[in-house]
């Protein structure tokens, strides 16, 4: 058994194993009720990095009684499937929402179970993703030539054994119209020993292959994680990171800036900051949208553009991702655009001058008049020729 498999088999899955929780039996009974609805998994590597109760890693993986509050609330429109993924599944466990790309569920297991996961309804429950659903998904992609990009997700595709993962990748690469394969994974940051030299050698055979990683806090970036990301990057796999904005975890400028800097140092491009989804059992993690906009504004100009991700809402109801930006345009008119920079200073950008626009308009008018005159001359000539013909009759 490899190291990463030992770490998985030693995962915390029960309430009485959880680190840094109250001994109060009433509180533990509440957590037990949470665990019956939303399973627990914290692999031994990730558990070893948790320093105390309520630290940023603890908050991401240890259940709290607030997860059941959403079932009692009538104030929030929270759902088990807020993004309507099930509605956009033409075959089981494949989401086809955007015209040219699909999301293919490879499994429904993760190295850790995030308490804020948008797929809390699926993760940790056996039997949802099978060889049959996977075969149907690959067949669907083969039958739809408009699909040029597939995101392998779940769960986490890198928990699949090497041989099975290679079989899946081979089947996808045999589809001629499929150009890009992406791995959606949190493994490098939460179970880094899984990223073995053997795995990377196998993945190299399937380029162009990309990896969408998931990091939420600078404390997740350890020497083991740096080694894992470097191995993937050295295998020629472009790495991007998706971060979820979480109350009490990373909802501050300093934390986000440090995270983005650390990601770039290990060749991971910050890609998205997600506004937390309106998923049942996660409302206590949600921040205001203004919090995200303020963080983005503080990043822009104060760190390199490579370190500024898109801030997006994956819209409730299945509308897809919408990018959000701080207000940088103060006003605009035909004469000028007034903008503010990262320091809050105001600058003016002149539009093409009114004189230039007037000259363009006059030139257009003169061209139209010339065409009309030409047409009129032709008509007169035709009329004269017809009159002469009548006289000759």
Provide the annotated active-site residues.
97-98, 101, 110, 114, 117, 119, 277, 314, 321
Measured distance between the N- and C-terminal CA atoms of the chain, rounded to whole angstroms? 108
Residue 137 contacts residue 151 (beta carbons within 8 Å): no
Residue 180 is given by DSSP the state E
Segments in the chain forming alpha helices (H): 3-9, 25-37, 44-48, 56-61, 69-72, 131-142, 162-173, 187-190, 197-203, 223-234, 253-265, 289-299, 354-392
Phi then psi for residue 191, to 5 deg, are -150, 60
Where does residue 318 fall: left (phi above 0), alpha (psi -120 to 50 degrees), or beta otherwise? left
| CA 173 – CA 175 distance, rounded (Å) | 5
What gap in Å lies between CA 103 and CA 205, rounded to an integer?
A: 21
Residue appearing with tokens 């509180």:
27
């Amino acid at each position: 058994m490899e190291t990463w498999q030992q770490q998985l088999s030693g995962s915390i899955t029960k309430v009485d194993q959880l680190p840094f929780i109250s001994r109060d039996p009433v509180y533990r009974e509440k957590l037990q009720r949470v665990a019956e609805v939303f399973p627990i998994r914290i692999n031994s590597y990730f558990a070893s990095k948790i320093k105390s109760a309520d630290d940023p890693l603890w908050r991401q993986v240890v259940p709290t009684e607030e997860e059941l509050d959403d079932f009692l609330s009538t104030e929030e429109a929270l759902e088990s499937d807020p993004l309507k993924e099930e509605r956009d599944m033409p075959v089981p466990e494949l989401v086809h929402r955007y015209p040219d790309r699909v999301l293919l569920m490879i499994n429904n297991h993760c190295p850790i179970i995030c308490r804020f996961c948008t797929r809390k309804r699926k993760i940790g429950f056996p039997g949802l993703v099978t060889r049959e659903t996977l075969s149907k998904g690959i067949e669907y992609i083969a039958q739809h030539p408009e699909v040029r990009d597939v995101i392998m997700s779940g769960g986490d595709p890198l928990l699949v054994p090497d041989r099975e993962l290679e079989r899946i990748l081979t089947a996808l690469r045999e589809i001629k119209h499929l150009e890009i394969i992406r791995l959606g994974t949190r493994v490098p940051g939460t179970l880094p020993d899984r990223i073995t030299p053997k795995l990377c050698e196998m993945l190299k055979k399937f380029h162009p292959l990309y990896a969408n990683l998931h990091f939420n806090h600078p404390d997740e970036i350890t020497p083991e994680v740096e080694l894992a990301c470097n191995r993937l990057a050295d295998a020629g796999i472009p790495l991007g990171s998706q971060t979820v904005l979480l109350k009490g975890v990373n909802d501050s400028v300093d934390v986000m800036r440090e995270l983005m800097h650390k990601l770039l140092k290990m060749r991971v491009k910050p890609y998205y900051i997600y506004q937390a989804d309106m998923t049942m059992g996660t409302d206590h993690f949600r921040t205001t949208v203004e919090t995200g906009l303020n963080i983005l504004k503080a990043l822009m100009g104060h760190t390199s553009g490579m370190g500024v991700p898109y801030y997006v809402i994956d819209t409730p109801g299945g509308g897809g991702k919408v990018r959000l930006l701080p207000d940088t345009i103060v006003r605009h008119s035909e004469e000028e655009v007034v903008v503010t920079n990262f320091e809050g200073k105001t600058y003016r950008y002149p539009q093409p001058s009114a004189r230039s626009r007037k000259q363009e308009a006059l030139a257009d008018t003169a061209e139209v008049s010339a065409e009309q005159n030409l047409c009129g001359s032709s008509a007169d000539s035709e009329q004269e020729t017809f009159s002469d013909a009548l006289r000759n009759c």
